[in-house]
Every structure is written in C-alpha cells, then in structure tokens.
C-alpha cells in the first residue's frame, strides 16, 4: 500500500532481468531513491513539510477522538446546511485525517530513502472545546499548509519530489476549500 503511494513520488525498486539470481536479488531489494539530494536541501524541505503534516495529522486524530458525528452535525458552523451536508462533513473529516496520516508516512519514507532522519511528531495542545473549534482551527491549519507547500516548492531540487509536493499541495487545497466553506 505505502510503496504504491510512494510510487508516484519518484521512488523505484531496483530490478534486474539478466538472470534468475539477479531477479531474486531484485525481488528482495529495498526501495531506493531515484533522485539525488547532494546538499541535503530536499531532506530539509521534506522535514519542514513533515512537521506540518505531523501537526495536521495530530489535529484530526484528536478532533475525531474528541467529537463524534452528532457533535459536528449539531455545530453552529453547519446549521445553515441541509441534513445531507451536515452528515457528510464528518466523513470528509475522517478522509482528511486519513490523507494527513498518509502524508506523514510518505514524507517519512522519502526522507529515509534520501538518507535523512524524519522529524518526530511534537506534542500539541489544540484547545478544542467544540466541533466549531475544529472547523476554525482546521481552516487555519489547512490554509497554512497550502501556503507552506507553495512557499517551499522553489527550494525543492528534485523534479520528482517537486511533483510529489505539488500533489500534496493540491490535496491540502481541497481540504482548505472544504473548511473555508463551512467556517
């Protein structure tokens, strides 16, 4: 699963077709980066992105552990929407949370493949008291994420990593759009 997700980020698995022995070696080969990071810049940029993804991942994890679907349906933020939208939003938040967890996995593996050490998740105090707080803080985090990826893009040296970062950027933009709508 994760390697399939990473497949689009410029990672390859070494493969040899010349003999059975080489083929067996290829099947057991660890994934290797298909790009260089000579000065470490890409590792730095990826760790910057990973720090943000850790924050977002922890936020959605806490939000979904703290509030249930009814809390969101009954929130002031959703009171002007019909029941179908109100009930759908919780599923959207679950999906966003899954995206953030995947971003953490993919970025961590990319950093390791480049020979770096992924930054660890910090401890956060989001101060969430209501489901409306989730929408307000989520909007801030997602819009910050969109700006961070856009700002970091010029510093990415590898075209493959730039493509991956822009892909994550577009996902973050969709998250921001949802939260901008309901906040």
Q: Which helix (DSSP H) or strand (DSSP E) does residue 32 occupy? A: strand 31-33
Q: Which residues contact 72 (CB under 8 A, 6 or more apart)?
A: 78, 86, 89, 90, 93, 131, 134
Mind listing the pLDDT tens digit for each residue in 136-164? 999 999 999 999 999 888 888 888 888 88
Please tell me the predicted confidence (pLDDT) of residue 72.
97
Please tell me the predicted confidence (pLDDT) of residue 31.
47
Q: Which residues contact 114 (CB under 8 A, 6 or more apart)?
A: 33, 37, 42, 43, 46
DSSP secondary structure letter of residue 33? E
Tell me the average pLDDT across 3-11. Answer: 32
* pLDDT interval class at 18 (50, 70, 90): very low
* pLDDT interval class at 27 (50, 70, 90): very low
Half-sphere exposure of 46 (CA within 13 A, CB side): 29
Mind listing the pLDDT tens digit for each residue in 112-126? 998 999 999 999 999
Q: Which residues contact 7 (CB under 8 A, 6 or more apart)?
A: none
Residue 56 in tokens: 């977002």
Mind listing the pLDDT tens digit for each residue in 77-115? 999 999 999 999 999 999 999 999 999 999 999 999 989
């Amino acid at each position: 699963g994760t390697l399939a997700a990473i497949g689009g980020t410029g990672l390859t698995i070494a493969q040899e077709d010349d003999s059975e022995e080489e083929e067996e070696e290829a099947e057991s080969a660890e994934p290797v980066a298909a790009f260089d990071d000579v000065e470490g810049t890409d590792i730095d940029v990826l760790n910057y992105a990973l720090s943000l993804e850790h924050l977002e991942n922890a936020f959605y994890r806490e939000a979904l552990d703290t509030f249930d679907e009814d809390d969101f349906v009954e929130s002031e933020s959703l009171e002007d929407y019909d029941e179908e939208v109100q009930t759908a939003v919780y599923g959207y938040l679950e999906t966003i949370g899954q995206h953030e967890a995947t971003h953490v996995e993919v970025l961590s593996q990319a950093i390791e493949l480049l020979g770096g050490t992924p930054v660890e998740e910090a401890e956060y105090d989001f101060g969430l008291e209501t489901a409306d707080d989730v929408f307000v803080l989520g909007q801030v985090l997602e819009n910050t994420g969109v700006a961070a990826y856009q700002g970091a893009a010029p510093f990415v040296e590898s075209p493959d990593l730039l493509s991956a970062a822009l892909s994550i950027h577009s996902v973050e933009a969709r998250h921001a759009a949802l939260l901008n709508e309901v906040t």
